[in-house]
């Protein structure tokens, strides 16, 4: 069980937001924290501390007037910590290779693969031919509906018809090296983890996974460790003191 750091970028700034407030149109979100430091500052910190596999996430869509500045920040982070960070947010067939060449260790993909309510295997197979399985991460971020967790896309607004079940993970693992799972309704709230989701992830023996969403205390981390059977990595955002929270980064970074 390892800590995976994050650099979330919105409107050209490193931020922590309430994930469920993202929208396709407009760039207003509910903010928990806006950093005075740029993305390169955090990349340098993670590099110095030997934390690998962190996530740089572009939270603006490509149509946003802030997109280019958000992208510039992301590329700065990749350049500072080459091969140490993954990148996600609008990854597709046209830009995946460029991000890898810019220094990303992996690309993280959601909406390009999960389209029109289902898994688009044509897009997935095309992407694997560009990135290779070993450098592709599938973001299966999810929200609960009718008692089940469903993958959501397009800045976490749209439900697909793909429910998170063990068989789905194992099938998709043929195409990627690992999974990133945002519990969207808990994201940015630091009110505790989605326990049922953590328990599901703990049953997926042999798959590499990172859980995000709701971690606010050391007790939450211990609970994830128990439910995830020690096999699920985690990321913490708003709750960390480097992002305005109370959890000491100096302690969390020891999980490596």
Of 185, 58, 67, 178, nearest to 111 by C-alpha is: 58
What pLDDT digit, counting tens, does each position of 189-227 carry? Answer: 678 999 999 999 999 989 999 999 989 999 999 999 999
Tell me: pLDDT of 24 over 90. no
For 22-26, what is the mean pLDDT?
A: 46
Residues 221 and 227: their CA atoms lie apart, in Å, by 10
The whole-number average pLDDT for the span 219-245 is 95
67-117 per-position pLDDT tens digit: 999 999 999 999 999 999 999 999 999 999 999 999 999 999 999 999 889
Share of the chain above pLDDT 70, in %: 94
Asked if 145 contacts 126 with a C-beta cutoff of 8 angstroms, the reply is no
As beta bridge partners, residue 161 has none
List phi, psi (to 5°) of 194. -80, 100
pLDDT digits (tens, 9 = 90+) for 25-84: 445 557 788 999 999 999 999 999 999 999 999 999 888 999 999 999 999 999 999 999
Assign 145 to helix, strand or coil.
strand
Dihedrals φ, ψ of 152, to 5°?
-120, 150
Does 21 have pLDDT greater than 50?
no
Residue 18: predicted pLDDT: 59
Predicted confidence band of residue 19 (pLDDT cuts 50, 70, 90): low
How much is the pLDDT for 191?
81
């Amino acid at each position: 069980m390892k800590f995976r750091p994050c650099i979330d970028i919105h409107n050209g700034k490193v931020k922590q937001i309430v994930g469920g407030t993202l929208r396709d149109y407009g760039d207003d979100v509910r903010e928990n924290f806006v950093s005075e430091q740029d993305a390169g500052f955090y990349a340098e910190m993670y590099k110095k501390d030997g934390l690998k596999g962190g996530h740089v996430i572009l939270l603006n869509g490509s149509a946003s007037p802030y997109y280019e500045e958000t992208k510039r920040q992301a590329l700065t982070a990749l350049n500072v910590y080459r091969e140490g960070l993954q990148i996600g947010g609008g990854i597709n067939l046209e830009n995946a290779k460029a991000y890898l060449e810019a220094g990303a260790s992996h690309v993280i993909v959601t909406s390009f693969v999960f389209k029109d309510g289902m898994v688009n295997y044509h897009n997935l197979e095309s992407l694997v031919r560009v990135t290779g399985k070993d450098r592709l991460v599938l973001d299966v971020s999810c929200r609960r509906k009718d008692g089940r967790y469903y993958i959501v896309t397009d800045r976490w607004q749209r439900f697909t018809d793909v429910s998170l079940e063990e068989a789905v993970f194992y099938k998709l693992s043929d195409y990627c090296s690992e999974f990133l799972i945002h519990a969207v309704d808990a994201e940015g709230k630091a009110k505790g983890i989605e326990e049922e989701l953590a328990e599901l992830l703990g049953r997926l023996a042999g798959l590499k996974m990172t859980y995000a969403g709701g971690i606010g205390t050391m007790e939450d981390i211990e609970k994830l460790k128990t439910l995830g059977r020690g096999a699920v990595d985690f990321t913490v955002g708003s709750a960390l003191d480097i992002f305005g929270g109370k959890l000491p980064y100096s302690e969390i970074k020891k999980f490596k």
